[in-house]
A = this chain, B = another copy of it.
């Protein structure tokens, strides 16, 4: 038995102000091709199908088309769970009807204890959840709530209840969506865009999942964050931010037979790539510099300007490069002297003047009339907001 393992599609996500939908379709078509070429027996999607709990209707239409193509047109069984970005209730609506064609999409803890059985495997679908949801499911009394307040604590209760369902002569797979920690992958703990309160450093210790033959993870977007070869993040099929710009995207083929589980990595190539640039403004606008990149729709650019740009930097750079998803400034570090000077000056001085002098100090230039107006307007809005 062969499964394709992907995760973190984040349909509906935007990069800067640009929709990623076209790029997500580009990756999806490659996933379909890999699944067909490899003749897989099913597709694992380990959470974060959508980017938001209430996805825009364009995202709903896109995901529905993708599920239709995989499951109804190409007849691939699907084994999916909701992630922390998904709205479990909305994504799960209608799941009983989807199961009729083996599209298994579990979004509730209650549904995790009944694995899907194939000839070779039991596949457990454990969605992302927070400790409260687990306490509610287990009817933990209020006075014991403190003992089930972290995801590690509740997972230590949940996992044995999953393992209790194990049948001996099958491989045991878990599809889930958490931050799994403690196997030398800590360098990558910050690469997910998750809410760090629930899924950040306070993750699930990898050892808790040791009884499974393979854990198909979602949540962290780089496969390098995988705790070990038996517990892997497939990563997102599309690059979502500059931290992911240098990484190779792809999915896993999971080979399951009576001897155990092995995996192969299958790369997914970008349609539009995300290129991260850094340089002085003068350098960035030189043809010799920018002509080395395919621009104007071929790539996305994240640009960091060393020092100060020009007044129309954004417009000029967008004109040269096309889809500029972000512009950052790498401003000179202030000396301690400057900091002290401003701290002293700022006392009792109008905030408008402090901003103006700071600008002069850093740029050797004066704020333009338009800039002064923007500063004044911003400060007025800030004061108003503080009042309310």
* Residues of B close to A87: CB separation below 8 A: 57
* Residues of B close to A93: CB separation below 8 A: 60, 64, 93-94
Task: Check if A94 sits within 8 Å of B96, measured CB to CB.
Answer: no
Check A337 for interface membership: any CB of B closer than 8 A: no
Check A135 for interface membership: any CB of B closer than 8 A: no
Task: Check if B57 sits within 8 Å of A54, measured CB to CB.
Answer: no
* Residues of B close to A94: CB separation below 8 A: 64, 93-94, 97-98
Give Cα distance in the complex from A18 to B101, angstroms: 40
Give Cα distance in the complex from A89 to B64, angstroms: 10
Closest partner residue, chain B, to A100 (CB atom): B100
| Contact digits for A77-107, partner B, Cβ 8 Å, 1 yes 0 no | 0000000000101100110111011010000
Give Cα distance in the complex from A97 to B103, angstroms: 9
Check A169 for interface membership: any CB of B closer than 8 A: no
Check A61 for interface membership: any CB of B closer than 8 A: yes
**Would you give the shortest CB distance from A117 to chain B, in whole angstroms?**
21
Closest partner residue, chain B, to A57 (CB atom): B89
Check A157 for interface membership: any CB of B closer than 8 A: no
* Residues of B close to A349: CB separation below 8 A: none
* Residues of B close to A90: CB separation below 8 A: 57, 60, 90
Closest partner residue, chain B, to A105 (CB atom): B94
- Total contacting residues, chain A, CB less than 8 A: 20
Check A388 for interface membership: any CB of B closer than 8 A: yes
Closest partner residue, chain B, to A87 (CB atom): B57
Closest partner residue, chain B, to A98 (CB atom): B97
Check A383 for interface membership: any CB of B closer than 8 A: no
* Residues of B close to A103: CB separation below 8 A: 97
**Would you give the shortest CB distance from A284 to chain B, in whole angstroms?**
39
**Would you give the shortest CB distance from A126 to chain B, in whole angstroms?**
20
A72-B60 CB under 8 A given contacts A90-B90, A384-B388, A388-B384 = no
- Of the candidates B54, B64, B97, B388, the one whose C-beta lies within 8 Å of that of A100 is B97
**Would you give the shortest CB distance from A86 to chain B, in whole angstroms?**
12
Check A314 for interface membership: any CB of B closer than 8 A: no
**Would you give the shortest CB distance from A65 to chain B, in whole angstroms?**
11
* Residues of B close to A64: CB separation below 8 A: 93-94
**Would you give the shortest CB distance from A255 to chain B, in whole angstroms?**
29
Check A39 for interface membership: any CB of B closer than 8 A: no
- Of the candidates B54, B101, B388, the one whose C-beta lies within 8 Å of that of A97 is B101
**Would you give the shortest CB distance from A45 to chain B, in whole angstroms?**
15
| Contact digits for A364-388, partner B, Cβ 8 Å, 1 yes 0 no | 0000000000000000000010001
Give Cα distance in the complex from A100 to B98, angstroms: 9
**Would you give the shortest CB distance from A75 to chain B, in whole angstroms?**
13
* Residues of B close to A68: CB separation below 8 A: 96
Give Cα distance in the complex from A93 to B50, angstroms: 13
**Would you give the shortest CB distance from A33 to chain B, in whole angstroms?**
23
Give Cα distance in the complex from A94 to B60, angstroms: 10
**Would you give the shortest CB distance from A104 to chain B, in whole angstroms?**
12
* Residues of B close to A61: CB separation below 8 A: 89
Task: Check if B101 sits within 8 Å of A72, measured CB to CB.
Answer: no
Q: Which residues of A contact B (CB under 8 A)?
A: 54, 57, 60-61, 64, 68, 72, 87, 89-90, 93-94, 96-98, 100-101, 103, 384, 388
Question: Lowest 5 A-B CB distances belong to which pairs?
Answer: A94-B94, A57-B89, A97-B97, A97-B98, A100-B100
Other A-B pairs beyond A57-B90, A72-B96, A94-B97, 20, CB < 8 Å: A54-B54, A57-B87, A57-B89, A60-B89, A60-B90, A60-B93, A61-B89, A64-B93, A64-B94, A68-B96, A72-B97, A93-B94, A94-B98, A97-B97, A97-B98, A97-B100, A97-B101, A97-B103, A100-B100, A100-B101
